[in-house]
A and B are shown apart, each in its own frame.
Chain A
Amino acid sequence: MSLTLLNVIVAVVIAIGFAALNAAYLVWAERRGAARIQRRPGPNINGPFGLLQPPLDGIKLMAKQLTIPGGADKVLFIAAPVLAMFPAIMSFVTIPFSESIVAKNMNVGVLMIFAFASMGGMSLVFAGWSSRNKYAMMSSVRAVSQAVAYEIPMLITTITVVMIAGSMDLMEIVHQQAGSILHWNIFPLLGNSHNILMPMSFLIFFTCTLAETNRAPFDLGEAESELVAGFHTEYGSMGFGLFFMGEYANIVIGSCMTTVLFLGGWNAPLPFLSFIPGVFWFLLKLYLLIATFIWIRWTFPRTTIYGLLNLSWKILIPLSLFNLLFTAGLIKVF
């Protein structure tokens, strides 16, 4: 085995390990964060600060019986959770954590990640259809229409950034935001864009990430729980565990993409701080964004399905299209 193949295998294993560890311990972070917002302690009995809670929860889930409803489509039923977890983990392979820490850099990195994200939408359909439960089917229909509606502004905003950078390579996009905080794509002054509406694009991208990962306030698919428990009603034990972890892995991927596209990747905010290695800045920005996800979930109530679709079709898509044309115009002129 040549050294580069070994490199790649080790890198892939580390990327997958990072994703899995994040997915497990983000549950802990969410429970503690939610508890502190609500002025209560959160899990603090199992292990110091409750840190042993996720492994124990995993053991509990694995010990439960995996039931498949009679008459359900067995292949699709078992495939759905795997399909929820798989794209997020695979997308980790191309994300650049720093100048040299990237499992395999591709020159169509953006395209690959969004292709995998679209595959995640299929798991919603498989889960709802194969459960043979009319309520699961109803809510998976809603989840799919939500996923489709919010992919469009996400892609349009990404195209805006790709146009500014001139390439789909994630490393290239980050390199072009080098400099200081004002060179990042979110702040338009000194960067490549000179586009005053970039913060709006950032907000649109962030909202779409919230909606794509079925996170509150857009969590109709799972917490519609007034009467229906969502598209994963019929899943127990590790099927549910995989959906759960897949959601958190998707959150990490979404935050990674936001960091790379808008917040400058591994670049330090001020030039003299570059002695601190890039991976530290990347992780700092990543976890700040994830903390914002958690913060938003525990503050706002849920939207209705038509409010959600109205938001996407009537507000986000026109604004992002306008920004795209504006950026294209600016690039042409300047």
Chain B
Amino acid sequence: MVTYFADIFNGLISLFVGMGITFKEFFSPTVTVSYPYETLTMCDKYRGHVELIENEEGKPNCVVCGLCEKACPSNCISLAGEKPEGEKRKVLTKYILDFTRCSLCGSCVESCNFNALTFSKEYNLASTRKEDFIFDLLKRLEDRNK
């Protein structure tokens, strides 16, 4: 008999305690960032898709060694270069990143010994066509330098 009333009473108290917590939360500030009217900045080490790094003259550091292509688990990278007359190193002519297969693992960035690749901070990529996500990184580098 006593447990009957004790149960009811304790249950009722727990309900009021719960309601007190939501009451307090009602007056707390909202934590939402109203994207797209407000945006956040990405942290330094954020992993967007990779971009080529250029040297002082605006040419990519890449020497077309092909280590990034071999390291990639998903066969996203295809690159080609040619050796111009009288130069010691190859020059990059084509660097295609297939972002539809990329998993942002970072193997390419890690495997590069010539500091040619880094992560970008692109996060709001959206398109209706798959072809928009096959990035031509050399062209993007030239567009950036214009």
Contact = CB atoms under 8 A, between A and B. Distances in A.
A300 B26 contact: no
Contacts of A38: 25
A37 B31 CA distance: 12
Interface of B: 8, 12, 15, 18-19, 21-23, 25-26, 28-32, 34
Contacts of A37: 22, 25-26
Contacts of A40: 30-32
A116 interface: no
A14 interface: no
A298 B18 CA distance: 10
Contacts of A315: 8
Given A300-B15, A300-B18, A315-B8, A39 B23 contact: no
Nearest to A296: B19
Contacts of A36: 26, 30
26 contacts: A33-B26, A35-B30, A36-B26, A36-B30, A37-B22, A37-B25, A39-B25, A39-B28, A39-B30, A39-B31, A39-B32, A40-B31, A40-B32, A41-B30, A41-B32, A41-B34, A203-B12, A295-B19, A295-B22, A295-B26, A296-B19, A299-B18, A299-B19, A299-B22, A300-B18, A315-B8
Interface of A: 33, 35-41, 203, 295-296, 298-300, 315
Contacts, number: 34
Nearest to A44: B34
Nearest to B8: A315
A41 B34 CA distance: 9
Given A41-B34, A315-B8, A298 B29 contact: no
A298 B22 contact: yes
Contacts of A39: 25, 28-32
B42 to A, nearest CB: 22
B37 to A, nearest CB: 10
Nearest to B34: A41
A36 to B, nearest CB: 5
B108 to A, nearest CB: 38
B33 to A, nearest CB: 10
A35 B25 CA distance: 10
Contacts of B31: 39-40
